[in-house]
Amino acid sequence: MYLARHYIFSLTALSNGRGQPNYTLHGLNHRPTVTILIPARNEEAVVGRLLHRITQFTYPKDKLEVILIDDASTDSTGEIADEFAKSYSFIKVVHRSPDIGGKGKSSALNDGVRHANGEMVLLFDADYIPQVDIVEKLAGYFVDPEVGVVQGRIAVLNEPRTLVSRLVALERIGGYGVDQLARDRLGLITQCGGTVCGIRRSLLEHLGGWDEKMLTEDTDLTFQAYEAGYKIRYANEAECYEEAVESWRSYWRQRHRWAKGHMQCFSKHLVPFTRSGNLGFWERVDGLLVLGMYFVPILVGLSWVFGAVIFFMSPVDWFSAIWTMIPLFAYSSAGNFASFFEVGAGIYLDRRVRTSWIIPVLLLAFAVNMLICSKALFDLVISKITRRKAHEWAKTVHTGGVCR
């Protein structure tokens, strides 16, 4: 099913077919009041860059409010933000004390949204550099009362730095430029990425804010929004540039949190999502596939291990074994790695042919993700058995290094 899904998505993105209405490109001028929330903990290297960028935004400043949540930072993040707040009346800073701060992004966002006045809440991580007209591009979709969340596109800024950052860039190209785009065109489950996304404030009020127990508050919000009857749209034209992780250690920590959080969401949303009366058949099918996504590398890994065990344990006729391996090899190339074709399609759409040369590196990432997902599942099971709270927020460190 994942194989078919990835190929359908690639073909949908490559075709120029009309999807759902794109209110922004159609020129509809919808200008709701917007609150930008920026949760920041020890982000002195990057926070000034983002705030400076926001001051250049073309969205009417009388409809814009910026709230930076200084999440008990021990560096000068709070002071930098305070300086901007002195100069620009639309920028506010919420300082969280050490006894309530540092408990994760959801907790900080819940604190920030209490001070928000906008009809729409827009989220940015501190290391991001958005386009100057990104608010218009995202806000336009909220003309539709069915739309609860709008997700923008994330591109990697520090791409040429290391192998890991190039790998993340490839994943972003496939994930946003093809996967999210196709899901939006086909009216399936578009995911909220937790950053570069606009959320209707009435939706947040309806849900009671972000669930602080969840490690991936974005996936949780995605499913809660769909269960409440809202739709999530993807705005491919609204681009934002991020500083991707550059070391394997950071990659592991970040993806481990994502895998664990996604698995939490699987157990939380499997039943309510299946039973929700607000969803169509294909939305339901796609949602279940999204929920089960992080179990796929584990299943593939297990099948490889079992295959090897059977191969070496039982007597083998080498001649027939070779013939058997050909279809298996073909399936492993085109089946398990169908998502690589999405990356290829995304590279083609972005007109970055040279980048396709490094697609084989994704094999390495796939192998690493097998280990990450297996470890995440193991940790979750152990924490369930021992009833220990094992969900700690692993913060990604940003250096502010930009390649241009």
Partner 1 sequence: MTLDPLLLMTLLLTAALGFAVMVLSPLIIELRKPKDKGPRRIPKTPSERRLRSIGKKPARINLNETECSGRSRNLQDALNEAGVKVTRIGRDTLRIFGDFAFLPRFEVSDNVVVDGALKIGDSCVFHRSVKAKGNVFIGNRVVIKGNLLSEGDVTMLDEVVIGGSVHSEGSVTIGENVFVASSVVAVGNVELYENSEVKNNILTRGAIKVLRHPKVELPSSIDEIG
Which residues sit at the interface with partner 1, rule CB under 8 A? 21, 23, 25-30, 58, 129, 131-133, 136, 143-146, 148, 155-160, 163, 166, 169, 200, 202-203, 205-206, 228-230, 237, 239, 241, 277-278, 318-319, 322, 350, 352, 354-355, 357-361, 403-404
Q: In terms of Cα–Cα distance, which of 212, 244, 293, 263 is closest to 375?
A: 263
Instruction: Yes or no: say if 377 and 298 are a contact pair by the CB < 8 Å rule.
Output: yes
Closer to partner 1 by CB, 41 or 153: give it.
Answer: 153
Give the C-alpha separation, 301 to 309, whole Å: 12
Q: Which residues of 262-288 are buried (b: 16+ CB within 10 A; e: fewer)?
A: bbbbbebbeeebeebeebeeebbebbb
- Report in angstroms the alpha-carbon separations of 248 from 8, 23, 99, 163, 278: 31, 40, 32, 9, 41
Closer to partner 1 by CB, 1 or 228: give it.
Answer: 228
Q: In terms of Cα–Cα distance, which of 140, 30, 26, 48 is closest to 93?
A: 48
The pairing of beta strand 64-71 with beta strand 91-96: parallel
Neighbours of 250 (CB within 10 A): 18
Q: In terms of Cα–Cα distance, which of 259, 116, 272, 262 is closest to 198?
A: 116
Closer to partner 1 by CB, 63 or 375: give it.
Answer: 63
Minimal distance, residue 16 CB to partner 1, in Å = 14
Closer to partner 1 by CB, 308 or 322: give it.
Answer: 322
Minimal distance, residue 372 CB to partner 1, in Å = 22
Minimal distance, residue 135 CB to partner 1, in Å = 10
Closer to partner 1 by CB, 70 or 136: give it.
Answer: 136
- Give me the helices (H) in 276-360, please: 281-291, 296-313, 318-331, 338-349
Closer to partner 1 by CB, 6 or 166: give it.
Answer: 166
Minimal distance, residue 367 CB to partner 1, in Å = 15
Q: What is the number of alpha carbons within 13 Å of residue 220 lying toward its C-beta? A: 22
Minimal distance, residue 92 CB to partner 1, in Å = 25
Q: In terms of Cα–Cα distance, which of 296, 257, 297, 292 is closest to 273?
A: 292
Minimal distance, residue 358 CB to partner 1, in Å = 5
Minimal distance, residue 261 CB to partner 1, in Å = 24
Closer to partner 1 by CB, 77 or 158: give it.
Answer: 158
Q: Got the DSSP string for 64-85? A: EEEEEEEES-SSSHHHHHHHHH
Sign of the alpha-carbon torsion through 16, 22, 25, 26: positive
Closer to partner 1 by CB, 102 or 344: give it.
Answer: 344
Q: Got the DSSP string for 10-60? A: HHHHHS----S--TTTTT------EEEEEEESS-TTTHHHHHHHHHT--S-
Closer to partner 1 by CB, 97 or 327: give it.
Answer: 327
Minimal distance, residue 192 CB to partner 1, in Å = 15
Minimal distance, residue 387 CB to partner 1, in Å = 34
